[in-house]
Amino acid sequence: MTWDEELDSIGLLCPLPVLKARKRLMTMAEGAVLLMRADDPATIVDVPHFCAEAGHTLMSQHSQGAELQFFIRKSGG
């Protein structure tokens, strides 16, 4: 999968990964894809909830060991 920007939130705990994703997405163009990397287990729940609330599309999420990867497409709203 391809992405336009990457956010490394490894080592950050809730709610920082989602807050940083929100801030980064605000600067991105509509339809752009953000790859967010995290290792806080709470992001498994927090990121899908954030996307649903903000109107962004969670395209996929994967885990590679302790690292979680979320691919978020920015909405137009």
Q: What is the pLDDT along the chain (77 residues), one digit of tens a residue?
A: 899 999 999 999 999 999 999 999 999 999 999 999 999 999 999 999 999 999 999 999 999 999 999 999 999 86
First-to-final CA distance of the chain: 24
Number of structural domains, the chain?
A: 1
Q: What is the pTM of this model?
A: 0.95
Domain holding 26, by residue range, is 5-73
Give the CATH number of the domain where residue 45 resides: 3.30.110.40
Catalytic machinery residues:
14
CA distance 67 to 18: 15
Whether 49 contacts 61, CB under 8 Å: no
